[in-house]
Chains A and B, each alone.
Chain A
Amino acid sequence: KAGVTQTPRYLIKTRGQQVTLSCSPISGHRSVSWYQQTPGQGLQFLFEYFSETQRNKGNFPGRFSGRQFSNSRSEMNVSTLELGDSALYLCASSLGGLDQPQHFGDGTRLSIL
């Protein structure tokens, strides 16, 4: 069974630009969660989509948004990029219940110049 796939693996952008990251979940998983990982803040929850609906959202500004398609693939968008947005962005897929394991992709490394 293929794992979670994230593209691209690396991105370099400049301040003020916007970026879209993609996540393909494990087949059969309807929940996709996004996390930001930085050395200072660790792993922080961005939002979660289940069956094309955003169920939960973390404490991030509105510049961070996402969506999920009918095939469960998800995209995350960050607009008006800031230097502090430099991070590893991870997505995880699961069946969606509280006790269902989340499986992570290898992330997209976003660097803002």
Chain B
Amino acid sequence: QQQVKQSPQSLIVQKGGISIINCAYENTAFDYFPWYQQFPGKGPALLIAIRPDVSEKKEGRFTISFNKSAKQFSLHIMDSQPGDSATYFCAAPALRGQLTFGSGTQLTVLP
């Protein structure tokens, strides 16, 4: 059964700092790796995703890096802001319509 291991479980950074969350997968049905951001009382919202044709994707302050040989991918949040405080989930597709999620990282950005 596919597993996605996410670390760290929680992360505290100062405003303006860099937040880094890492994920490792065992198998995937397809090299497509989305990251989701979830605020309390809300469903996960798609933040950014990477496809196999690139090893890095950047959208604003958010960057995904992908290392296929190591089966790892990571999320970098540059210039972290208090509004970024949320729970972040990485995911990998197991089958069509089925994502396997990491266990989540609770990020707190201190003002």
Binding site for B on A (CB under 8 A): 4, 6, 31-33, 42-43, 45, 48-50, 55-56, 58, 90, 92, 94, 96-99, 101-107
B78-111 vs A, Cβ < 8 Å mask (1 yes, 0 no): 0000000000010001111111111110000000
CB–CB A90/B98 < 8 A: no
B97:A96 contact, CB within 8 angstroms? yes
Which residues of B approach A to under 8 Å, CB–CB? 29-30, 32, 34, 36, 41-46, 49, 51, 89, 93-104
Of A50, A101, A103, A107, which is within 8 A of B96 by CB?
Answer: A50
Contact assessment for B32 and A56 in the assembled complex, using a CB-CB cutoff below 8 Å:
no
* Residues of B close to A6: CB separation below 8 A: 43
Name the CB-closest residue of A to B104.
Answer: A42
What's the nearest-Cβ distance from chain A to residue B72, in Å? 19
Centre residue among B34, B43, B95 by max chain A CB count within 10 A = B43
- The reply to whether B43 and A43 contact each other, CB–CB distance below 8 Å, is no
**Cβ–Cβ contact B98 & A58, under 8 A:** yes
A94 close to B43 (CB less than 8 A) = no
**In the complex, are the beta carbons of A98 and B49 less than 8 A apart?**
no
Chain A residues in 8 Å Cβ range of B98: 33, 45, 48, 56, 58
A104 touches B45 (CB 8 A): yes
Closest residue of chain A to B32, judged by CB? Answer: A99
CB neighbours of A101 from chain B (8 A): 34, 46, 49
